[in-house]
Amino acid sequence: MGSSVDELVIKIRNSEVRGSTNIAVLVAEALVRDAEEYIENKDMNGDLKLSAQNWGTQLIRSRPSQITLRNSIKNVLAGVEKIHDNNDLKVFEVLKSNGEAFVEQAKSASEKISVLGGNIIRDGDVILTNSHSALTREIFNMAANQMEKDIEVYVAETRPRYQGMKMVKELVDLGIKTTLVIDAAIRHLMPEIDMVIMGADTVGSDDSVISKIGASQIALVAHESRVPFYVAAPTFKFSEDTLSGVMISIEEGKKSEIIKDTVLDGMEENEFFRIRNPSFDATRADHITGIITELYIMSPHSIGEYLARKSGVIN
């Protein structure tokens, strides 16, 4: 593989880089850097197209279930397969143009989503979120520091890896009033919440949203309490694969994450003991008020039609 792709694959597998949008951007940048390295260091022998496709395959294997990673690769390699004359320079030009366009799209989407999300937050609102999401962080930053709204954010700790604590630290550093709550306290505290805003890993054509584990329970409690529940997700997190019936797989984390530093530490291999550690869950459409995209705030029930039109299945 290329050196940049090699390094990124290791980091993704070891969870040294996080955040689906961040990973998607890093993937696009790594593909372009390795294509540049190929052009600079090798004779033009017509191998760049095959090399780039192999790099993409290896990146997908590093995190098979992450649709943003797949979509990033799909965007960068778009049109490469149609180049039949093994013209390395032509392949490089397509890769570079596609990669730069995708990175710009991702950055622009984040900016537009932060404004749309900031607009639906009212002065004085208390908003609940879970896990760590750069996108939701920027929504809260926009509302509090750009739009000058007085808000408070409740953040669920998000066991077992406590990504919510990272979110708390970043929000406090931005000067936003933030309250850390344990995951089990959500139902008890929901009467104090005006709105829920979550990030997402994947949005499927069946209108369900795959988010960090615990999101679906929060959505259920919010629905029960008639609290609006929004998901922030750029359209490159939408999965066209689900149109053909492909199910979105749910990754399981390491067993040790659950029991580390507890009385059960070291018992992973005990034959009488099991650990389940799903990393994500699916939130059903009828528990979601809207999906904040870079285009507009979509109804979750419209995602299937949006994907079908985008892919050309229907006109």
Cα(92)–Cα(137) distance, rounded to whole angstroms? 35
Cα(30)–Cα(56) distance, rounded to whole angstroms? 10
Query: Closest Cα partner for 200 from 106, 267, 115, 134?
Result: 134
- If one counts every other C-beta atom within 10 angstroms of the C-beta of residue 314, the result is 9
Per DSSP bridges, beta strands 177-181 and 152-156 are parallel
Check if 34 is active-site: no
Catalytic residue among 125, 201, 207, 261: 201
Q: Which amino acid is at 228?
A: P
Owner of token pair 């920027």: 138
Owner of token pair 């029960």: 224
Spatial CB neighbours of 110, under 8 Å, sequence gap ≥ 6: 21, 134, 135, 138, 234, 294
Q: CA gyration radius for the chain?
A: 21
| Positions marked active-site | 201
